[in-house]
Chains A and B, each alone.
Chain A
């Protein structure tokens, strides 16, 4: 092949690519394009999977009802597999190639942090579904988040421990992003609640036996409670090992296990475990006059009817993110990213599955501690601790 034919070929190819890209953009002009990068597979799939299902279901429903501002929504979802580097490339794709107006996604703190600078540079609003406090502190003008922070989870747990007169705590944390970050926050706020951490152990994301770590915790002097920040199958195994070793102090799990599958996986060992979670898990048990009841019961019923599996709070975060965005779209009356950002920042009194959201320029999450409920597992189901 001579150089000239090669160049001709390349030029022709370029023309084809450019044309098809232009054609695709033209076709999509009448729609509101929303993007999402989620950890649908990989170690954090239990975060991304329900979020994906939630987004697909509600975008379909919104479109059946005539879309938003008379225009249908178009949803583009990519799977980051929990890998920050992949997430970054896919976010670039959403911004540059799909030309989205806003993003609801980012299952883990790591992927969110990798994507945040891109949205800041492109001036497109990004509502994250991850827990880490670093996402919104310091505030990035274009980045918002819907779940409670891991710091709030620690505070909620410590409040409950204080009320029960427990102060000497053994920590056993997962070394994944979630566990590691929450462990740091829990160590950080321990002093504020007079909590003393008497043992501090960890386990890997794929570990299958935590009895050595728990044995060390059991041997700690004056142990009064054990706290396990982590998600995935780890906390279920910790709970089973905890029962096997016969450690007889209260066990606290984090909001990372707030789905029914935790109770199934841990079996009888889960009895008596406490954890902070959103009202979604106990939708039917809420008082009739609870302002959140309507929202969480509706979401729970819709999700379980559509997908035939129990809801998890992680799908709820996606619901909140999408609905905050839809409200902003309606309030702004158009889908200009810059205006959307401003409108999202003004969200107030929005009732989501995670609680009432009141955002401000300094607070891009807008939740407070009352949004968390302390739950205890009794007879294989969640109950609200009063």
Chain B
């Protein structure tokens, strides 16, 4: 029982990170139909900027806020400089542009920062918490709690605020949204900023556990994309469930089956789900956007 619980804690912590990354994919996808493969770099930037801002003398909380702001600005710049000029291009072309952006951002981080691994201190100490015989670090609680807060805030934003609703409207029908007076450019800008901020926040939360470096984003983007697809692209609930499922599958795979093939466990599950439900767990059925 305590062994199972230990695996579950591990899975939930890792899964919460995947879930936030998957949410980042979802926000941009919904507003612009673009799968942003630079999503992992937002997470990396969040962690790396915080590390270096605090090295340069900012107190940690200020450094974290500054990191979120800088990453959001980079998200906005990505939209302005790379996505908007290519409007109307083929979906695959847009994906390649975001891959180009991710290579560029990784190269930039390597030059501006360095190639070392870095860490942040845990927010509230390293003393493990005992839960029914299994242990949990306080930082894991921060990650899971942070993920939950992000989900609630996004839910509130998209369903209770006019601006959030206008993003959703744009995602359903851009022309109609324009006709009812929604500023589509602004909506796109906001969704890139929001997605980048979400990613950066995830980066700050997990760096004390996972450490970070200029190339930490690739793997996260891969897992986040997998999670978003498993849940059904475009569905925020799906992104969260998908992320947690991938995380738990990995932990259980490593614990009970084979640690060498734990990633394979996750991908086999995803493939199996897709063969039965071709648009993921909660994906929109019948509508084809590509």
| A interface list, Cβ under 8 A from B | 40-43, 45-46, 49, 175, 201-204, 206, 208-209, 211-213, 215-216, 219, 232-233, 236-237, 240, 243-246, 261, 264-265, 267-269
| A208-B209, A236-B211, A237-B211 known; A213 vs B259 contact (CB < 8 Å) | yes
**A209 to B255 Cα, complex, angstroms:** 12
15 contacts between A and B (CB under 8 A): A204-B263, A206-B219, A211-B6, A211-B7, A211-B9, A212-B251, A212-B254, A213-B254, A215-B6, A233-B211, A233-B213, A243-B128, A244-B135, A265-B119, A267-B119
Find out whether the CB atom of B10 lies under 8 angstroms from the CB atom of A212. yes
**Contacts A246-B135, A265-B211: A41 and B117 contacting too (C-beta < 8 A)?**
no
A84 CA to B115 CA in the complex, in Å? 20
Cβ proximity bits B1-38 to A, threshold 8 Å, 1 near / 0 not:
00100110110011001000000000000000000000
Minimum CB distance partner of A40 in chain B: B115
* Set of chain A residues within 8 Å of B213, measured between Cβ atoms: 233
- In the complex, A42→B126 CA distance in Å? 30
Classify chain B: how many residues form its interface, as a range. Answer: 35 or more
Among A216, A219, A245: residue with most chain B CB under 10 A: A216
| A99 to B3 CA separation, bound complex (whole angstroms) | 59
Q: Which of B128, B135, B259 contacts A212 (CB 8 A)?
A: B259
Q: What 10 pairs between A and B have smallest CB-CB spacing? A: A208-B210, A212-B255, A206-B219, A212-B254, A211-B10, A233-B211, A45-B115, A233-B117, A215-B6, A202-B259
Cβ contacts under 8 Å, B116 to chain A: 46, 261
Q: How far is the CA of A105 from the CA of B252 in the complex (A)?
A: 41
User: In the complex, given contacts A208-B206, A212-B255, A215-B7, what are 13 additional A-B residue pairs having Cβ atoms less than 8 angstroms apart?
Assistant: A40-B115, A41-B115, A202-B260, A208-B210, A209-B209, A211-B10, A212-B252, A212-B262, A215-B6, A215-B255, A237-B209, A244-B126, A267-B126
B116, B251, B255 — most chain A CB neighbours (10 Å):
B116
A46 to B115, CA, bound (A): 8
Q: Determine if B215 is an interface residue (Cβ-Cβ < 8 Å).
A: yes
In the bound complex, do residue B13 and residue A42 qualify as a contact, i.e. CB atoms below 8 Å apart? no
Contacts of A261 in B (CB 8 A): 116-117
B115 with A265: CB separation less than 8 A: no
Which of A201, A232, A267 contacts B259 (CB under 8 A)? A201
